[in-house]
Amino acid sequence: MVGSSHEALHRIFQKDPTLLTRALQRVLHVPFPEPRQIAALNVDLTEIEPVERRVDTLLRAETDEGTYLFVIESQGKVDDRKRGSWPYYLSYLYEKYRCEPVLIVVTQNSATAKWAARPIRLGFRDWHSLTVRPLVLGPDDVPVIADEQSAARDVPIAVLSVMTHGRGPQAPAILGSVATALRTIDEETAAVLAQFVDSCLADPQAKQMWRDLMTATQYFWRHPLAEQVREEGREEGREEGRVEAKAEMVLHMLEWRGIEVPRAVRERVNACTDPNRLEVWAQRAMGAKDATELFTAD
């Protein structure tokens, strides 16, 4: 189970290796050729036992133009030790596999992204023996995807977007669009991607909003994250039934989006015992401009 944003930011590329090509082409606008095949490799780069060196994710891409190795590093903060380890990773991998290595850094922090994008130059001031230029996927590079149609067109890219931007006033629209898009793919993949999002949301309100959205999905309740949420609820002494949780989620969505909830609307939602109807109302709550729009066409 993914338990941190560090893991989620690079393991999403293990779950869907083709996401890497789309991120390069559509987000970073790097003209990388379409791979014939992408395979995950052993991430352990240790040579001498006392010195352990391990990359986060390592993928090999076979293309018509050659074979490439992608070193994907999840970076939470500025760490000047990477000035030595990143060049080492690339040199070691080239020597071991004899194909071109490419470094990609994924981060949720704009300042860290700017730091990571700076070239690493080793050698004399005017003569560099080695230059490393990382490609960076950060908040200023990954687009904000806040509408359902765009999210459904490429769900992993939308998940990468919410992992990067899922905070602040734009959170309800971003989280809502991804929650809806997850319904368009297979349940097993959706459950894993939902966990990646949950691991990356540092803002407590955004995390609770995401978990409320996920309680409305059938696959969520068969995933380990659901048991974690239920266990947290038991620990805090607020064991709730599924219907009550869905009703609360509908009202939370409206409140988080700054929509006033009249007493009559609140009472009707809380009185509802049909989980399917509550799920419909939850979907309407994502885009409603007025609380009474929940009941349109009912």
> What is the structure's pLDDT at 132?
95
Band the pLDDT of 246: cuts 50, 70, 90: confident
Residues 137-183: tens digit of each pLDDT: 999 999 889 888 999 999 999 999 988 886 666 777 788 889 889 98
Average pLDDT over residues 240-250: 73
**In degrees rounded to 5, what are phi and psi of residue 250?**
-60, -45
Residue 172 to residue 178: CA distance in whole angstroms: 10
Burial class (CB in 10 A: 0-12, 13-18, 19+), 88: middle
Tell me which of 56-60, 91-95, 292-296 is least confident.
Answer: 292-296
Greater model confidence, 222 or 274: 274
To the nearest 10°, the Cα dihedral for 190, 195, 200, 205? 100
DSSP, residue by residue, 115-154: HHHS-EEEEETTEEEEEE--EEE-TTTSPP--SHHHHHHS
> What is the structure's pLDDT at 85?
93
> What is the structure's pLDDT at 219?
47
Residues 55-92: tens digit of each pLDDT: 999 999 999 999 999 999 999 999 999 989 999 999 99
Greater model confidence, 203 or 61: 61
> What is the structure's pLDDT at 106?
94
User: What's the distance, Cα to Cα, between the start and end of the chain in Å?
Assistant: 39
Greater model confidence, 3 or 229: 3
Q: Which of 148, 177, 140 is nearest to 162 (CA)?
A: 177
Band the pLDDT of 236: cuts 50, 70, 90: very low
Sheet holding 135-137, edge to edge: 35-40, 57-63, 66-74, 100-106, 135-137
To the nearest 10°, the Cα dihedral for 78, 81, 83, 85? -120
Residue 160 to residue 164: CA distance in whole angstroms: 6
Overall size of the chain counted in residues: 298
Tell me: pLDDT of 206 over 80.
Answer: yes
Residue with tokens 């991430």: 43
Residue 281 to residue 212: CA distance in whole angstroms: 13
Tell me: pLDDT of 40 over 50.
Answer: yes
Tell me: pLDDT of 233 over 70.
Answer: no
> What is the structure's pLDDT at 151?
92
